[in-house]
A and B are shown apart, each in its own frame.
Chain A
Amino acid sequence: MTPQFDEIWVYLSASPLLGLTITLLAYQAAFWLYRRSGMNPLANPVLIAVTILVLLLTLTATSYETYFSGAQFVHFLLGPATVALAIPLYTQFSRVRALLLPVVAGLVAGSLTAALSAIAVARLFGASLPTQLSLAPKSVTTPIAMGIAERIGGIPSLTAVLVIVTGILGAVGARWIFDAMKLRDPAIRGFAIGVASHGIGTARAFQVSEQAGAFAALAMGLNGALTALLLPLLVGWMH
């Protein structure tokens, strides 16, 4: 390589341009694979893109902070995208209203199961207390989950990662679980995936059907609000 390449690299590695560009490239590569696999849930695009990026950053010895100074522009769009979920919700609202009781009952049962079973299993297998508390809000969408973790004594940035892994697990596994349960209703499938695995589950649900997506979006919003209210109280009682 010419000596100039070093200078270019020094410039690029400190500018936000590179972090943003590799995020989009990695995602497009991941999405292409996902398409090629016939949208097989195992080829989850978030999982593949994150794997590519972690390998790339590790190989080039780039810090996450440097990377994030560029990637934050993508991260920022989570806010307006969350607001935009109101539109499919509105389109599907007649079905949501007809299913009010199942929705409320499923929400409360699912929300409690998500938080309590995560803590219980982690405790059973000897995870440290900060890890247990970081796990508790793992089914809730990232910004809410990080806020909850901070309030109850978990580690917010660890929670962010556990939230993403939970989302991927749900998006990958839901189809087989629901098929095994012989469950076809897209409203139930969507709602359950939204409670268990928030936005990543919702993204997957939208790729399957708009109705499933709308129920997943509803579940994600409701579960975020409910967990934010309940979990600090539950953890208070456990101490």
Chain B
Amino acid sequence: MSEPVILLDGVEKTYPYFRLTNIALQLDAGQILGFVGPNGAGKSTTLRILMAMVQQDRGTVRVLGRSLPREQAAAKQDIGFVSEDMRLHGSESLAWHMRLVADLCPGWDAAYATALVGRFNLHPEQQVRALSHGERIKAALLLALARRPRLLILDEPTTGLDPVARHEVLAELMDVVQDERRAVLFSSHNTHDVEQISDQIAFIDRGRIVDTGDKETFLDRWRRLRLDVPPGVTLPAAAGVIDTSTSGRQAIVTTRAYAPGFEAGYAAAGVGIHAVERLTLEEIFVATVMHNRRERAA
């Protein structure tokens, strides 16, 4: 098995009012990792550490087999990075930026860049400061994608994009991993996008990784059960239940350790089962974070 494309272990970073604690992440080639967390959770800081723009206080950071921050220039040869707060030089054109990047990056694919200009409906000679927000993001993505990097690190790549642009961007990202040596790490609020295209998922909240795993397992493990608890019957304990809410006879149980036969326990106790529902990634995310915060406060 070849070395992971990204390996973070025990990474820590302390700021006056925020701490990144014990961050561990792994991304293998050919995969897309979706990184989900509320604002201020530490997503951007983690991504900056991966790009050596911020140096970790402690812990191992290895990207494409290179140790960061020491070997950052070598690692960045093969990494494309776009963050939502990044800016291009407003006084210059997209074409100017393309020439600059092509000059500095050996992997630049001019034909692909031209194709992306068309696909993203951009005008290369237009000044960057005249571009709309969506166009600026697409321009930055173009500059990263056309380098054909082995790893793409994207901080909120679809935030602020209209649905059509989102669709185009996701299509390009999926195209990247058609080559199984390449990989994508993207952070997003947009759990829908993450749910759709990620292979692996990591949740982060308040500076800690709260849960990681492959997407299908996540979606399989979590269920919401709508139960009918007749009088005189008590709701039995069950594996992985992190939330129970009752209203009269109705009970809604959320579990993160669902397996076939889970309902049998309830049936045996005389509890009626109305429905067993899957949760969306968004619901899983919110439930995980809320549960984690309660645990930490206790």
Q: Do A and B belong to a common assembly?
A: no
Interface residues of B (CB under 8 A from A): none
Which residues of A approach B to under 8 Å, CB–CB? none
